[in-house]
Amino acid sequence: MDVLKKVPVREQDAKVRATNFDEVCLGYNMEEAMEEASRCLKCNNAQCVKGCPVGINIPEFVNKVQAGDIKAAADVIAEASALPAVCGRVCPQESQCEGKCIRGIKGEAISIGKLERFVADWSRENGVVPEKPANTNGKKVAVIGSGPAGLTCAGDLAKLGYEVTIFEALHKAGGVLVYGIPEFRLPKDTVVQHEIENVKKLGVKIETNVVVGKSVTIDELLEEEGFDAIFVGSGAGLPRFMGIPGENANGVFSANEYLTRNNLMKAFREDYDTPIIGGKKVAVVGGGNVAMDAARTALRLGAEVHIIYRRSEEELPARVEEVHHAKEEGVIFDLLTNPTEIIVDENGWVKGMKLIKMELGEPDASGRRSPVEIPDSEYELELDTVIMSLGTSPNPLISSTTKGLEINKRKCIVAEEVNGKTTKEGVYAGGDAVTGAATVILAMEAGKKGAKGIHEYLSSK
């Protein structure tokens, strides 16, 4: 064993997985997990913990894995996180815990994410269940949205004895974990559903099909429904578009819609009644993780897929691992290229795209070199489907129906970073609804801080 190198993790072969929706990464088995855990230096001043937004005691749980006591490892993780099987799969560990790992200075960092995933999967397979708190304190809290922010806030409050009800607009709980991130990265019925059930086992109630702002307002929840405080974790699900001609044609999707139709409505499964016209030749515009997910989904539905991105590979905002997987599977990258128009046929359907080549100029405000059009470099690409993946912002429904809830220029709810306190008394907020589109673990951190803020507020009342 080379202690400087990670124990490699098994994956489905690229050619095979490009044709199915099964999980790409197969995870560690017990022997591999114990071997990987033995590489950890168990540092006294563990930098990895500083890189974890929810503060998991990483050396402690890794130590338990090395000893083969996986139940004890699960207990250590459960003190800080309600969604370990999710985080072990989708957190950008390379820029968080693993990015700070001391072992990574001279060799490869410990595979903290893969070990967390192993522990969580083992717990699920071995029936480890969280304990329900013995007593409730009689105070009621409503949580709006059942994504990672809402689930974490609800779980932490339930542990403190609050009666918590989550109100979710969709028919299924989980937020982006169920409607956005594809099955081949995050299995829904096993992994996500199990972690949601664990939050419910803490005593949290989840009411789906409740659109707060339409079915009921925040003011009504506080004044008429007897809730003592509210946490808003409603995410950032409103897609952006480019504003180019042809964008309203049939065959143009937002990445959110395309992914929701596949993940939540199971369009990829033949036994479901909600199919999608997946496309034979698809362009995905954008270079983030969401664009990679949309591209890899379209590929699995049988299309030739082009990523259209206006900067170069170096500036791609997606995780390196996602780009690598997309390439391995056969996604074509048309870099330094920007769409100027979607060409539409006489029946209103997409038939192609006009594009222009770009080159990199001076750095812009973000520090990245800005793309500049190369004159006379226009060309056309024949297509039948376009997926726009240009980012999202929070839906203004809640802010526009709640008196005294301030939002900023980007339509995000204004909330204090330390405790999620908004400008309206008794209302706390966190996750993408406050920061704009970010990550699962940052949403969880905000959920934790919101729970702490609500506990302090209600304890002092």
Ligand X SMILES: Cc1cc2nc3c(=O)[nH]c(=O)nc-3n(C[C@H](O)[C@H](O)[C@H](O)COP(=O)(O)OP(=O)(O)OC[C@H]3O[C@@H](n4cnc5c(N)ncnc54)[C@H](O)[C@@H]3O)c2cc1C
List interacting residues with ligand SF4 (CB under 6 A): 40-43, 46-48, 58-59, 62, 101-103, 110, 112
Q: What are phi and psi of 25, to 5 degrees?
A: -90, 135
- Residue 121 vs 293, nearer CB to ligand X: 293
Binding marks (x or -) toward ligand X, 69..108, rule CB under 6 A? Answer: ---------------------xxx----------------
Angle value at C-alpha 34, between 31 and 36, nearest 5 degrees: 105
If one asks whether residue 176 binds ligand X (CB under 6 A), the answer comes out as: yes
Nearer to ligand SF4, 52 or 434 (CB): 52
Residue 66: contacted member of ligand X, ligand SF4, none (CB under 5 to 8 Å, by partner type)? none
**Binding map of ligand X across residues 414-453, x = CB under 6 A, - = no contact:** -----------------xxx---xxxxx-x----------
Residues in the chain: 461
Residue 237 interacting partner from ligand X, ligand SF4, none (CB closer than 5 to 8 Å by kind): ligand X
In contact, 164 and 150? CB cutoff 8 Å:
no
Residue 328 beta carbon to ligand X: minimum distance, rounded to whole angstroms: 17
For residue 438, the partner it binds in ligand SF4, ligand X, none, with Cβ less than 5 to 8 A by kind, is ligand X
Cβ at position 80, least distance to ligand SF4 in Å: 14
Paired with 205 in beta bridges are 165
Query: Minimal distance in Å, beta carbon 175 to ligand X?
Result: 2
Q: How far is the CB of 191 from ligand X (least distance, A)?
A: 13
**Binds 48: which of ligand X, ligand SF4, none (CB < 5-8 Å by kind):** ligand SF4
Minimum CB separation from ligand X for residue 64, in Å?
25
Told to check if 149 binds ligand X by CB under 6 A, we report yes
Considering beta carbons, is residue 115 or 358 the nearer one to ligand X? Answer: 115
Pick the closer one to ligand X by CB: 37 or 112.
112
Q: How far is the CB of 449 from ligand SF4 (least distance, A)?
A: 23
Find the binder of ligand X among 53, 88, 155, 235 (CB under 6 A): 235
* Binding-site member from 96, 123, 198, 395 for ligand X (CB under 6 A): 395
Residue 199 binding target from ligand X, ligand SF4, none, CB below 5 to 8 Å by type: none
Q: Is residue 48 near ligand X by the rule CB under 6 A?
A: no
Query: Amino acid letter at 281?
Result: K
Shortest Cβ 341–ligand X spacing (Å): 26
> Quick one: 42 or 205, whose CB is closer to ligand SF4?
42
The 3-class SS string of the chain reads CCCCCCCCCEECCHHHHCCCCCCCEEECCHHHHHHHHCCCCCCCCCHHHHCCCCCCCHHHHHHHHHCCCHHHHHHHHHCCCCCHHHHHHHCCHHHCHHHHCCHHHHCCCCCHHHHHHHHHHHHHHCCCCCCCCCCCCCCEEEEECCCHHHHHHHHHHHHCCCEEEEECCCCCCCCHHHHCCCCCCCCHHHHHHHHHHHHHHCCCEEECCCCECCCECHHHHHHCCCCCEEEECCCCCEECCCCCCCCCCECEEEHHHHHHHHHCCCCCCCCCCCCCCCCCEEEEECCCHHHHHHHHHHHHCCCEEEEECCCCHHHCCCCHHHHHHHHHHCCEEECCEEEEEEEECCCCEEEEEEEEEEEEEEECCCCCEEEEECCCCCEEEECCEEEECCCEECCCHHHHCCCCCCECCCCCECECCCCCEECCCCEEECCHHHHCCCCHHHHHHHHHHHHHHHHHHHHCC
Tokens representing 225 are 């429904």
Out of 233, 246, 251, 286, name the contact with ligand X by CB under 6 A.
233
How near is the Cβ of 226 to ligand X at its closest, in Å? 19
Asked whether the CA dihedral 450, 453, 457, 458 is positive or negative, the reply is: positive
Q: How far apart are CA 266 and CA 171, in angstroms?
A: 13
**Interface mask toward ligand X for 269-308; x: CB under 6 A:** --------------------xx--x---------------
Question: Can residue 230 be called a binding residue for ligand X (CB under 6 A)?
Answer: no
The structure tokens listed for 203 are 């005593």
* Number of residues engaging ligand X in binding (CB under 6 A): 42
Q: Which is nearer to ligand SF4, 59 or 420 (CB)?
A: 59
Q: Which residues bind ligand X (CB under 6 A)?
A: 90-92, 144-150, 167-170, 175-176, 180-181, 210-213, 233-235, 237, 259, 289-290, 293, 395, 397-398, 431-433, 437-441, 443
